[in-house]
Amino acid sequence: MTPLFLFRLILDLLAVSLLLAAFAYNWFGNAAHEIIGTAMFVLLISHNVFNRRWYGVVTKGWREPRSIFSKTITLCLLVMMVGLIITSVIISQTVFDFLSLRSSFIARQIHALIAYLVLLIAALHVGLQWSMIMRAVRQALQVEKNTRIQTVAMRGMAFLIAIYGIHSLFVIDIGPKLRMETAFSFRDFEAARAEFILRHAAIISLCAIISHYSLKLLGLYRRDRGAPGITR
Ligand code: HEM
């Protein structure tokens, strides 16, 4: 793993952590929320600069199932992130307040709705890169290849995390949030900080697991049909 690749991985990890932290609005308060969110958007710009090659190949490979799957997820994420940035600027009370844009209840509701969609889609996006991330980690730790026992143990762990993630979808009440019914619920963060982080991390992991294994299944489908090489 090159130092630049490690640096990019650290920036991406930081971006995911900031995304998670932005959901603790009632915990940190408005000003911190806006600064955390803005910092995440800055990291997002660097992520896009480092991965600018994707824009050159996005129109290619739309016949191959794996490529369709990953490009659709990444395009959805791009659209949602743009929506999150726009609504953030509109409803800002601190960082972009100087722009004096008129906020509204519906803009704030859309902001929260898009935020939860971003959480789910960004996690799917992370899952797309999981094999590559694991390869890099193995290389850094100088582990040749997982043994059969390690593979079984990791799959078992992924299964347990996925179950906890499904349960967390109900505990966090994600359904009503996506229907904009209770987008601005006020949770007791003092009482449940650790649980808040664990639940959101489990939801991120669940979506990442779904996309990682879907991509693997689509790979099997491709191999069965003997199709040529893939593009991400
Ligand atoms: C990582 C990016 C972001 C995410 C995931 C996010 C997510 C959210 C969520 C989920 C809420 C609802 C909080 C609740 O439970 O009550 C919220 C509220 C809010 N966000 Fe963000 N946000 C992000 C970035 C930003 C940025 C950059 C700004 C402004 C510069 C901003 C401004 C606001 C404001 C003003 C509210 C409160 C709306 C109200 O008055 O009811 N957000 N955000």
Per-domain residue ranges of the chain: 3-225
In tens, the pLDDT along 119-152 reads: 999 999 999 998 888 888 777 777 777 788 888 8
Conformational region of residue 104, where left means phi above 0, alpha means psi within -120 to 50, and beta covers everything else: beta
Sign of CA pseudo-dihedral 191, 23, 36, 91? negative
Ligand 1 midpoint to CA 84 (Å): 9
Q: Which atom of ligand 1 is found nearest the CA of 94?
A: 30
What is the distance between the alpha carbons of residues 89 and 106, in angstroms, rounded to a whole number? 14
Three-class DSSP category at 181:
coil
Tokens 């991509």 belong to which residue? 215
Q: Please, are residues 1 and 111 in contact by the beta-carbon 8 Å criterion?
A: no
Mutation test residue for ligand 1: of 12, 16, 25, 103, the one with most atoms within 8 Å of CB: 25
Query: What's the 142 CA to ligand 1 centre distance in angstroms?
Result: 41
For residue range 185-231, list pLDDT tens digits in order.
545 556 578 888 899 999 999 999 999 999 999 887 665 555 444 33
How many residues are present in the chain? Answer: 232
Provide CB contacts within 8 A for 205, sequence distance 6+: 123, 158, 161, 162, 165
Collapsed DSSP state (helix, strand, coil) of residue 197: helix
220 C-alpha to ligand 1 centroid (Å): 40
pLDDT tier at 76 (50, 70, 90 boundaries)?
very high
For the chain, the farthest-separated pair of C-alpha atoms sits apart, in whole angstroms, at: 59
Q: What is the mean pLDDT of residues 75-85?
A: 97
- List, chain by chain if needed, residues with CB within 6 Å of any ligand 1 atom: 19, 22-23, 25-26, 30, 33-34, 37-38, 40, 84, 88, 91-93, 95-96, 108, 111-112, 115, 118, 184
Number of the ligand 1 atom closest to the C-alpha atom of 18: 1
pTM for this entry: 0.88
C-alpha distances (whole Å) from 194 to each of 101, 105, 139, 199, 212 are 36, 30, 31, 9, 26
What is residue 231's predicted lDDT score, i.e. its pLDDT? Answer: 38
What gap in Å lies between CA 86 and CA 76, rounded to an integer?
Answer: 15
